[in-house]
Structure 1
Amino acid sequence: MREKLSDKLVRSIAPPIDAANITCWDTEVTGLGVCVTKGGARSFVLRYRIHSRERRLTIGSYPDWSLVAAREQAKATKRQVDLGCDPLAEREELRAAPTVAELAERYLKEHVSRKSRRTQIDQTGMLRNRVLPLIGRMKVADVRHSDIDALHRRLSEETPIQANRIAACLRKMFNLAIRWEYRVGNPVDGLLFNPENPRSRYLSQEEIQRLVSLLSGHPNQRCANIIRLLLLTGARKGEAMNATWDQFDLANGVWIKPSAHTKQRREHRIPLSQAAVALLQQIKASQVPSCRFVFPGDTREGPLTEMNGFWRRLREKANIPDVTIHDLRHTYASILVSSGLSLPIIGALLGHTQAQTTARYAHLADHPLREATERVSAVVSSF
């Protein structure tokens, strides 16, 4: 059906009875037509050919689009086609472009899945609970710096430190989006992070004594032994809880942490003190020979996965309510520094790959250095 379209004609075309829709083609602008569905809905369409293919593009619904506006849009679109562009393909490509939610799922599956279990839990929670409800439906290519800045500001009102962690996560995710050709440029670049003061909580000798004395008579010796091992080795909680016996050479006093269990994803070999070896030998002697895990869960088929309640109650009894389990690692490092060991040696024991990570403990070396200067002063002053 071909006829010069008019507003009166567009309104008067009867809906089809037997077909799903009917189209009346305009004789003034070639390819422009009005499509009427069985339900009576009307919309302007444009038919064109490009690359030996016939294409049909919907311009818009009537009367939201007037006939005059539809004709102007049809002419403009045809000029694009003459220049080699395919407007329908561009629209389909935009519709198929990944959303932030889809990017996040790929990021979690292909990148985060190779990280430690703790990292997987943290980043999955941050993305699904804090980020996706706000920008998950946005197209990856449409996310601007202002969107990330607004997100970061909103999150910072409640949890400024976590807002920084989320921003760091998004920076990595959008870097991968660039590699995967989802977009150009990282919208997180230039973001002003919230200031952070790193924790500097170290247990005093008196606090260590109170803590260790409580471990001796505690009914839960499995968790008590984890705390003992953390104090003796400076290991991270996850490294200790997931440890298996094949990681230990007790005869030579060595713990070889596999890359899958370390934060840096690198194998970390550390010597064990006599006290640490004795503790591990005692634990091993109390287990059945077939047990793989140093600290097995209740079913013995996997490692112990939860001890937060144990630690919370223990620190309350020890009167150190502000101390986290990770502060035991800081305490281990502080003892090493105060003993006069160099930062590179301490970094090697802790498994640090960057010197600045260990440098946070540098100020703790003041005491032994002050003692050394006092010795010189005593000699000089004696004359």
Structure 2
Amino acid sequence: METKQARPTLTALALKTAQPEDKPFELRSRRVPGLVLRVQPSGIRTFYAQVGRGKRLRLADARVATLEQAERLARDAVLAPKAFAQARAEAVTLGDFTDKRYGPWVVANRRAGKTTRKRMETIWAAHWNTPISAITHQTIDKWRTARLQQGRKPSTINRDLTTLLGCLSYAVEVGVLPSNPLHKLKPLKEAGGRLRHLSEAEVKRLKQQLDNPINPRQPQYIKPLVLLALNTGLRRGACFNLRWHDVDWSSKVITAVGTHAKTAKTQYIPMNKEVAFALLEWMHVATKDKDLVFPGRRKGKVMHGVDVQLGTLFRNAEIEDASFHTLRHTFASRLVQKGANLPTVQALMGHANIKQTSAYAHLAPGAMAAAVALLG
């Protein structure tokens, strides 16, 4: 049996000669208990102070700090971890931390990282110069109250706050904050909204407009795009990022790759005859791009805005209060109305849990009445 080789202790020589490996590894100091050097496969080396079981504070980048400097910081951190973290946080503003630390990290590690960084810059601009340690429960209470008075919906405020919570959690993870000051903050109560879906009459009028549009300038891609969303429930992003090689004509299955999905999970959606015919017809027309099913204006770029074109289509079909996402809700609603069980609908919609799918349960024909009838 092969024995695991012991790591050398953290010394000036070990610091100088330590080379990256396939997995992260750590060197610990004997002279200063709690001082740790973590070496990543990328070559990044960082000093940490172990201040408790499973808890450590980031001290410095080993590329710019000497071992002696790290030892002094580690002694202070181990002696008074909360005071040390507080002092470090007071020197860092929310904007500075987002620009230099959180922004680059979230872009590199999260699917919607660019959007998250942009939302931080936009929503929290007024707090950009606020020390990150000065963001408290009371600060956010005042901010939420002001936003409610401005007419913002609780759901919008909760989403905006989630963006900040992620930033603060990362600040704790890298040792800038001792703890997340908002971890006990409860979200605002949201009113239960309805899921807008098209009635069968609206679906009929919509298809009539797709076949015989009033608008002579209706783009050719609108028909296959709308029918795809209406018959598969795919989200806007999944439709726009769909490639022709994701469409399997032999098995009649569309593969929605997880990298473009909200849940980051790959879905396999069967094509019915309407979708297959619409896409086949579109394939012979869409010669601009042999890769993307719905290419953008620039070659190789995905499509983005279709709200204006859809708005015109809905108005001509005499459909009010509808959007692209309404097509997704309509897909799920029609399945339930025609007798599909909730687990099947959940799988087709790509919902993370059945609770999301249960929002359509009331549409099942006679399901509730039949359940009550069982009692006699």
TM-score by length of 1: 0.68
Q: 1:199 aligns with which of 191, 194, 205?
A: 194
SS at match of 1:141: helix
Of structures 1 and 2, the one with the larger relative CO (CA 8 A, separation 6+) is: 2
- Alignment counterpart, residue 165 of structure 1, candidates 138, 156, 159: 159
**Which amino acid is 2:264 matched to?**
R
Offset at residue 375 of structure 1 (A): 10
Task: Work out the CA distance in 2 between the residues paired with 1:266 and 1:254.
Answer: 16
Residue 215 of structure 1 contacts residue 221 of structure 1 at CA under 8 Å; is this kept in 2? Answer: no
Q: How far is the alpha carbon of 1:351 from its aligned partner?
A: 0.7
SS of match in other structure, 2:157? helix
In structure 2, the CA distance between the partners of 1:198 and 1:120, relative to structure 1 (3 Å rule), is farther
Pick closer, same or farther for the CA change 1:192–1:374 going to 2, 3 Å.
closer
Q: Aligned partner of 1:174: which letter?
A: L
Q: For 1:296, what is the secondary structure of its paired residue?
A: coil
- Give the match's secondary structure for 1:221: coil
Partner of 1:216: 211
Query: Following the alignment from structure 1 to structure 2, what is the Cα–Cα distance between the partners of residues 374 and 174?
Result: 48
User: How far apart are the structure 2 equivalents of 1:95 and 1:345?
Assistant: 49
Provide Cα deviations, 1:57-114, integer angstroms capped at 9, x if missing partner. Answer: xxxxxxxxxxxxxxxxxxxxxxxx9xx99xxxx7996488332113333333322555
Number of residue pairs aligned between Structure 1 and Structure 2: 291
- RMSD of aligned residue pairs (Cα, Å): 3.3
TM-score (norm. length: structure 2): 0.69
Q: How does 1:121-200 map to 2 (within 5 A)?
A: 121=115, 123-133=116-126, 135-157=127-149, 158-160=151-153, 161-188=155-182, 189-200=184-195
Q: Deviations over 1:237-270 (max 9, x none)?
A: 1110121112221211111111211001122222
1:104-143 deviation digits (Å, cap 9, x = unpaired): 33333322555455x743x34432222122x111122221
Aligned to 1:235: 234
Q: Which amino acid aligns with 1:199?
A: R
Query: CA 1:124/1:234 → structure 2, altered by over 3 Å: closer, same or farther?
Result: same
The corresponding residue for 1:58 is none
> Is the 1:250–1:281 contact (alpha carbons within 8 Å) kept by the matching residues of 2?
no
Q: Secondary structure at the match of 1:288?
A: coil
Q: Deviations over 1:37-71 (max 9, x none)?
A: xxxxxxxxxxxxxxx99xxxxxxxxxxxxxxxxxx
1:74 equivalent in structure 2: none
Among the aligned pairs, what percent are the same residue?
A: 24
Q: 1:95, 1:140 → 2: CA distance?
A: 6
Equivalent position amino acid for 2:367 in 1 = L
Separation in structure 2 between the aligned mates of residue 370 and residue 194 of structure 1, nearest angstrom: 28
Distance in 2, Cα, partners of 1:318 & 1:108: 44
Instruction: Report if the CA contact (8 A) 1:340-1:368 is conserved.
Output: no
Residue 281 (structure 2) aligns with: 282
8 Å CA contact retained: 1:243, 1:295: yes
Distance 2:354 2:189 in 1: 23
The Cα offsets for residues 129-185 of structure 1, whole Å up to 9 and x where unpaired, read as 22122x111122221111122222222223123111111222222222211111122
Q: CA 1:232–1:192 in structure 2 vs 1: closer, same or farther (change >3 Å)?
A: closer
Q: 1:210 to 1:148 in 2, by over 3 A?
A: same
Which stretch of the first structure deviates more once superposed, 271-280 or 226-235?
A: 271-280
Aligned AA (2:212): G
Q: CA deviation at 1:292?
A: 0.6
Moved more, 214-223 or 249-258: 214-223
Q: How far does the alpha carbon of each residue in 1:330-355 deviate from its partner, in whole angstroms, 9 at most, with x for none?
A: 11101111111111110000111212
Does 1:331 find its partner at 2:330? yes
**Superposed, which structure 2 residues align to 1:1-383 within 5 Å?**
94=88, 97-105=91-99, 106-112=101-107, 114-116=109-111, 120-121=114-115, 123-133=116-126, 135-157=127-149, 158-160=151-153, 161-188=155-182, 189-218=184-213, 219-288=218-287, 291-365=290-364, 367-369=365-367
**What SS class does the counterpart of residue 92 from structure 2 fall into?**
coil
Is contact 2:89–2:176 with CA below 8 Å preserved after alignment? no
Contact 2:89 2:133 in 1 (8 A): no
1:238 touches 1:261 (CA, 8 Å); kept in 2?
Answer: yes
